[in-house]
Amino acid sequence: MKKYISNFTKYRFLLGELVKKGITLKYRRSYLGILWTLIEPLLTMIVLTIVFGALFGNKDRQFPVYILSGRLLYSFFSNSTKIAMKSIRTHSGMIKKVYVPKYMYPLSSILTDYIIFLISLIILVLVSIVLKVRPTIYLFQAIIPLVLLPVMAYGIGLILATLSVFFRDLEYIWSVALMMVMYTSAIFYKPARIVEAGYGWLLEINPLYSIVVNFRNSIFGSFLDLKALSISLAYSFGFLAIGVFMFLKKQDEFILHV
């Protein structure tokens, strides 16, 4: 463990540069630049509110905040894991030329997207103010799901980055899996509906849903759901442990396949 901490400290400057590069490349040749981070979720929220709110008879004034809070978390999870999955192959040229701890590449991908995600939360704050979602003391609880989210994403990212080096088709399989994650995260509907239909177990096996639940509880002024918290803790650190183990065991073989 001391060896890995020392190694990380030695290359932490490079991690910062990789993150800066990731943010720069994401908005290169974009006229709106970082503003698109705020505009895109706002437009998506409006469309989803019209479809799942007006057309399905949901007249809750704060429904847009409900949608936006779930959508922002899912967008980060989806984008970050996709980028982390490709990170080893994307940096294959550097891997072949110089030594850098390989876990830096998926880590920089997650951190890049996480910074962008944190900026996008500004629009959630503004929409909440407009729709009069009053902040309470429970809002401080949001720190917990906001910490668990990147931990889970990094763990899954390490697993995907390892497997995708050897199985290139994983990229397409993960896209389908993300679609299932989205529809079972209760982003567009109240979870009570799917529970009443007898499919509540789909929510519990979804690693993202438990984080979304407690993030929303924090926003709308409720105490953390302890069952969801325990599930999210198990998933986050479970995926991280598995991801680190797989990555470190296979990283020396990457150069033969990238």
The tens digit of pLDDT for each residue in 140-160 reads 999 999 999 999 999 999 999
Cα dihedral: 76, 82, 83, 84 (round 10): 100
Which residue from 148, 140, 150 is spatially nearest to 230, judged by alpha carbons?
Answer: 148
Per-residue pLDDT at 31: 61
Per-residue pLDDT at 56: 62
Per-residue pLDDT at 175: 92
Residues 6 or more apart whose Cβ sits within 8 Å of residue 121: 72
Per-residue pLDDT at 22: 81
From CA 123, how far away is CA 64, in angstroms rounded?
12
Per-residue pLDDT at 135: 87
Which residue ranges make up each domain of the chain?
2-256
Taking the CA atoms of 33, 123, 209 and 144 in sequence, report the sign of the dihedral they define: positive
A 10 A CB-CB count for 77 gives 26
Residues 6 or more apart whose Cβ sits within 8 Å of residue 156: 81, 84, 207, 239, 243
From CA 67, how far away is CA 63, in angstroms rounded?
6
Per-residue pLDDT at 44: 84
Evaluate whether 154 touches 247 at the Cβ level (below 8 Å). no
- Amino acid 171 reads E
Regions in the chain scoring below 50 on pLDDT: none
Per-residue pLDDT at 78: 94
Per-residue pLDDT at 57: 62
Per-residue pLDDT at 132: 87
Structure pTM?
Answer: 0.90
Per-residue pLDDT at 198: 63
Which residue from 78, 80, 57 is spatially nearest to 190, judged by alpha carbons?
Answer: 57
Mean pLDDT of the chain: 85
